Structure 1
Amino acid sequence: MGDQGLSSRRELQPWKCLSSKEILHTGKWCTIEEHEISLPTRVYTEGGKSEMSGSTIIPKWIWIKSPSFINVAAVTKEGKWVVFHQTKYACMKSLNSNTLAPVGGYIDENEEPLVAAKRELLEETGYVSDNWVDLHASVPDANRGCGIGHLFLALDCEFKGHGESDDLEEQQLLLLSTDEIEDAILNGEFGVQSWIATLSMVYSPNAFSFTEWEVTLLTSKGAHPFLRYVLRSAKNNLLLSSILIMFVGGLTRMLSRNLLFFMSREYIEALIMSTVEVRNEDPLYGFLLSYLYDNDYLRKTNSLIAFTTQSKRARGGSYLSFGPGEGHHIFNFDGRRIWMSRVMLGENFGRQKILLQCYGKPEPLKQFIAAARKHGFNRDSGILVYTVSMRAMGWVTQPNSRPRRSLKSVILEDGRAESIVADVEEFLKSQTWYQERGLGYRRGYLFYGPPGSGKTSLLFGIASHFDLSIYSLNLSDPELTDSLLQTLMNQVPTGSMVVLEDVDSVFVGRQSTEPKSKSVTFSGLLNAIDGVAAGEGRILFLTTNHKEKLDPALIRPGRIDLEVPFCLSTTSQMKRLFLEFYQGIEGSADLSDELTSVIPSGQISMAKLQGHLLKYKIDPKSAVASAGELVRGDTGGSVQSSSNEAECCITALDEEITRNRAEALRQLPGPPRRTSCPYSLLSRIKT
């Protein structure tokens, strides 16, 4: 039993050697003695106090005498580390492998440790140094002795001639970079703990920038131990890692089959390592992948993943990017070592996460993530579009999955896009207003009209304008259930767009179009939109080609706040699209008038006209000359015209209904435009 914890150290009673006898002597290299030891015994009372109570006698305690030794971390003026590749007997016997080793050797009798270090450096390698740092002195075995190990750092080493080593084993002199030294330590290529301790205390590049007076203080015998610690800590941000590497790096290979060791390693990592986890549902995941590759942090890895990045600056609108592949990676960020793991969450589930780790406090990780996020936002990136993975049971995305679209390229009826954008902008800046009045911070829009009239184009224009992510749901997926739909809606971050396209193809009234296979019910959809457990902060967009097929409960105020009609192409729209295609071409204005004389208003969709103009990208005259085919080829022209007239009638009716709703809701306190009805928009829409 031991003390539960004290605020200060107390004086400890030492062990006592009562007698000793020599049981083995092999000259100067090793002497083994048998000691009779008296071990003071401390007992603890019920009150938690302790007192001495005699001693315990250990009659046969083995004590090993061997010469003290030195190890030297030698670094050349060019920043290369001087090490050996050797075949040490103990490493071959215990670890079954060769080993890397720093300069080292025994201290002769009456020889000072620093003198021995300089001698061994010259004799073994042919290098000399005038810039030495005394790092540490310790015993290899806390209870058995085995001499004293002195650890040194030799800076600015110069080659003076071939060494005269008397070592018997085969060895090879190597000059390694700092990165190679770090990799070798982490991979367990140094087979002796004192070697690992020597190198790991100084392998940070910042450790090589000691000034002359700092070296003097560090090597002075009169220097206060705390001063030495402060100086070394200031120069080596990875000091804490030395402790872990001494245990993990040196013992990994010996204890790799011991389950207790792995448990201990995880416990140690939890104590002294900081960890940040990023999942692929978050846009930050893609930013990290791109940032790592763009800044050459992965120059040493052989495991990469390729993905497409959207950019207006790239030819074809996209270019090939790479990121770290699945597995473990190591890189430096601002002088700090960061470990990264890219992990799959479940077999074939499509969900992934990135784990970032460093020793000490998490500030380096926070700074790295902030830099990656800034890099991602500063790039000419696309809109993040999330879809549902049934295997992952959640949202998944790839970075920059869709190119941005300017609102100027979305050609609608005059003033319509501007009005919708103004409404979205007002919502995004009104969160506090909603909260103060106890209103759910949600907004819903219904885009309805014939196919190709610009509904989806406007969605991407809005997302690009406000830099919003799009979360797209396919309600017809047979594996999508009510509970999963509720979960997905709650996972959507504040200030994001949720898009349910062609909702009329899933529900006609309150009935599913595929009752045998459809799992989402109509009531489940309503609850996900604005039920008790519905999330807040998202903007919902429903699109449909047939508004008349929708149940009124789905589009009532509170669920759908703004109903926006989309019609077939008007004369104004056709002219604007034509001039956009052929801007700068002489006579394009007159040709646009000819086009609208051939194609009456309300006959074709804007998508169909755009497809026609794409056939004649540089030939506006041919585009006009063949425009009649668009009308003649549409056998349902009269039906389309009638449909367009019906849309206008519906718009007018909606205008009247919402105007009445506005009068009732306008009594709510707050700004007059902040209601849940679309009067502020429809009053500006021309029908």
Structure 2
Amino acid sequence: MASLLSFFEQAKPVHGGQPPVAQLALLDLLFPGFSSMSDVISKYLGLNLNIYIPALIFLGGLVFAWNYISDYIWQLVKTHMMSSVEIRIDDEIYNIVMAWVAAQNFSKASRRFVVNTNLSSRSWFIWRWSDNDSDEDDDGENVSLEKQKKTLSYTPSFGSHAFWYRGRLLFFRRTQHRDQLSFLPPAREEISIACFGRSPWILKELLVEAKLAYVKKDSRKTLIYRGTFKGVPAEPTWERNMSRDIRPLSTVILNADTKKKLLDDISDYLNPATRRWYANRGIPYRRGYLLYGPPGTGKSSLSLALAGHYNLRIYIVSLNSFHSNEENLTTLFAELPRRCVVLLEDIDTAGLTNTRAELAPPSPPTGKEMVATAGSENSNPSALPGRLSLSGLLNILDGVASQEGRILIMTTNHIEKLDKALIRPGRVDMSIEFSWADREISASIFRAIYTTLEADGNEELRSTTDQTPGELITEKAAANASVAKLAEKFAIQIPEHEFSPAEIQGFLLKHKVSPENAVREVGEWIKSMRREKKGKVAEERQEQDGVGESKPSAERRRPDSDSHSNSSEDGIDFCSKTESSISEPGTPIEGKPPSTAQK
């Protein structure tokens, strides 16, 4: 204290002049630009600021000390007189709370805010946007207006923000942890909500309200999650991909008996009594289904409709990802909820097929063979180090540590390529075959497109204002009867087992307002589709011929070459069964496509 007073005495100007140079240097260090500012004020205003130097130093020290004192006092208050809840970004509750915060008045009126187009915590890039979570209809003139309203979302910026909730003062705090040593954008963010008082009941009520609002928005939706791998050490997480309107099962074109057996089996499995029955008998509580058939026949559509019918979430797993190894997939499956649908699409393309058919390991390749194999399209991706193996996938699906309570659905375009261990009874309890469209399927698709539904809001049926409800019903029935007759005419023109349901639906959507035009122009569409497919076959043959010509002449002249044995596989095989077939639970799959017998 004596030294500080001594400094004050020395800092006083000598005979009304300036302080010594040493004191000026120290003052400039504490208050940058003080000497220049004091000279200007003294010259033009005639004020000598040097006499206020002791007071300035005292105030500066007080402000400097107050920063530490206030932080210490605030920590004591938060520890002993406040309640708080912390929410991390790697939990779905983050999305729930942020959606609630974005809808509050204090968030919209905040002068410090973050603007983005996606509030999802799992989005790696802030500008990634999907408008698939909309729960409102896009009708006419409201389309552009709704898009403008949903483009931007405003949430409070990083720091503390006070707001009132049910008469209580609450504090919303948002913090971000930046890694200065990483070249990636920061991925860790935390939010917290605090209130005065030692009872956290008001915070719990807020969380319940936010969750109810979030669930209400998704009550008529099917939520779709996708397994992703984020960050430098590829951390496996489930990311909410989108939400879709619940698709009615009536829109899925499938054999009636097959659909009934499938629904009865799933309903029995989801019955709470079934779970206890499985547990009492020591049977793993799991169910697996295999959907196989040509592309575009409705396998993925059935999976989506089943999830919506039973109000389950869909979790999609890609086995072709570079990070899809046994450890990461085990982590993903361990985080699955008890009741959900796990979808493995196109499992025949994952490089895990027929891996047990190799009787003996090949001899070690030479250096040139290793280079050639690395560039080959037929190299097995599962043979790469760190990739998922068939045994690893089987352990994940029904191993000792596998998750119970989920419904596993696998889809494939080529069932003959799947290893028998993957589709044996116990892993696949029911198999459903999807085929090319026959006459019945073609007519069903036509009726599904053009039949008038209650939810359509068709104004053509309300052309006159004096129609009674009975007259409207009669007019609607007459219109649907006309559609049924046109459906028969349309189905007669479609060749059976040549086109997929998706191709037929795509053609009908081009004429969705005029079923008569669809019936009239279907003949030209069939001719154009045949020409297109014929051109694709010719291109594939040219590519195969080019690959064959690029091989060494010694390899082409091998006496044991079997190049002619597979010539029948160059064309497109449209043969399939006339209707969907189903394998009963616990029975082997029958009726494989003709290509299996040829091979």
Structure number with larger C-alpha Rg: 1
Question: Of 166, 181, 204, which residue of structure 2 is paired with 1:366?
Answer: 204
Determine if the alignment matches structure 1 residue 303 to structure 2 residue 114.
yes
User: How much does 1:602 deviate?
Assistant: 2.2
In the TM superposition, what whole-angstrom CA distance separates every residue of 1:66-106 from its partner, at most 9, and x where no partner exists?
xxxxxxxxxxxxxxxxxxxxxxx999876669xxxxxxxxx
**Cα 1:619–1:291, aligned 2, differ >3 Å: closer, same or farther?**
same
Mapped contact 2:226–2:241 kept (Cα < 8 A): no
| CA distance in structure 2 between the partners assigned to 1:576 and 1:489 by the alignment | 38
C-alpha change, 1:493 and 1:569, in structure 2 (3 Å) is same
Match of 2:513 in 1: 618
Equivalence for 1:572: 440
Q: Return closer, same or farther for 1:304/1:334 CA change in 2, 3 Å cut-off.
A: farther
Query: In 2, Cα distance between the equivalents of 1:344 and 1:563?
Result: 49
The whole-number CA distance in structure 1 between the counterparts of 2:496 and 2:72 is 75
Structure 2 counterpart of 1:487: 331
Q: Among residues 160, 169, 175, which one is paired with 1:337 in the alignment?
A: 169
> Does the CA contact (< 8 Å) of 1:478 and 1:519 recur in 2?
yes
List alignment gaps of at least 5 residues for structure 2.
1-52, 119-130, 357-379, 453-478, 538-570, 591-599
Q: Which amino acid aligns with 1:371?
A: E
Partner of 1:546: 414
The answer to whether the Cα contact below 8 Å between 2:394 and 2:422 also exists between their aligned partners in 1 is: yes
Q: 1:508 — aligned with what?
A: 353
| CA separation of 1:490 and 1:396: change in aligned 2, threshold 3 A | closer
Question: 1:603, 1:641 within 8 Å by CA — same for their partners in 2?
Answer: yes
Aligned match of 1:427 in 257, 266, 269? Answer: 269
- 1:531, 1:594 → 2: CA distance? 52
Cα deviation code 1:445-484 (max 9, x no counterpart): 1111111111111111122222222211111111222111
Q: In structure 2, do the counterparts of structure 1 residues 608 and 263 end up closer, same or farther at CA, with 3 Å as the change threshold?
A: farther
Q: Find the partner of 1:376 among 206, 214, 220.
A: 214
Q: Deviations over 1:105-137 (max 9, x none)?
A: xxxxxxxxxxxxxxxxxxxxxxxxxxxxxxxxx
Aligned ranges 1:623-662 → 2 under 5 Å = 623-632=518-527, 633-634=529-530, 635=533, 639-644=572-577, 651=581, 654-655=583-584
Once the 2 structures are TM-superposed, how far is the Cα of residue 542 of structure 1 from its aligned partner? 1.0
Q: Does 1:562 align with 2:406?
A: no
Distance 1:417 1:436 in 2: 30
1:390-401 aligned at under 5 Å gives the runs: 390-392=229-231, 393-398=235-240, 400-401=242-243
SS at match of 1:383: strand
Q: % of aligned pairs identical?
A: 29
Corresponding residue for 1:226? none
Structure 1: 5+ residue stretches without partners: 1-88, 98-190, 192-250, 662-676, 679-687
Cα deviation, residue 606, structure 1: 1.1
Q: What TM-score, normalized by structure 2, do the two folds share?
A: 0.61
Report the 3-state secondary structure (helix = DSSP H, G, I; strand = E; otherwise coil) of the residue aligned with 2:284: coil
Aligned to 2:252: 410
Which residue number in structure 1 is paired with residue 280 of structure 2? Answer: 436
Give, in whole Å, the separation in 1 of the partners of 2:107 and 2:245. Answer: 27
Q: Does 1:313 align with 2:313?
A: no
Letter in 1 for 2:228: S
In 2: Cα distance, 1:431 partner to 1:486 partner: 23
TM-score by length of 1: 0.54
Map of 1:463 onto structure 2: 307
Shift of 1:413: 2.2
Residues 350, 389 of structure 1: 8 Å contact kept: no
- Distance across 2 between alignment mates of 1:431 and 1:397: 28
Alignment deviations for residues 428-457 of structure 1 (CA, whole Å, 9 cap, x no partner): 223233223222222211111111111111
Specify whether residues 463 and 325 from structure 1 end up closer, same or farther in structure 2 by C-alpha distance, changes over 3 A only.
farther
Query: Does the CA contact (< 8 Å) of 2:318 and 2:345 recur in 1?
Result: yes
User: Residue 608 of structure 1 aligns with which residue?
Assistant: 503
Does 2:289 align with 1:356?
no
Query: Which of 220, 225, 236 is the equivalent residue of 1:386?
Result: 225
Query: What is the RMSD of the two structures over their aligned residues, measured on CA atoms?
Result: 3.7
Q: Is the contact between residue 226 and residue 240 of structure 2 (CA under 8 Å) also seen in structure 1?
A: no
**Structure 2 counterpart of 1:358, which letter?**
C
Closer, same or farther in 2 for the Cα pair 1:257/1:266, shift >3 Å?
Answer: closer
State how far apart, in whole Å, the 1-side matches of 2:151 and 2:245 are.
14
* Larger relative contact order (CA 8 Å, sep ≥ 6): 2
Residue 8 of structure 2 aligns with which residue?
none
Residue 612 of structure 1 deviates from its aligned partner by 0.5
Normalized per residue, which structure has more strand? 1
Distance 2:321 2:382 in 1: 10
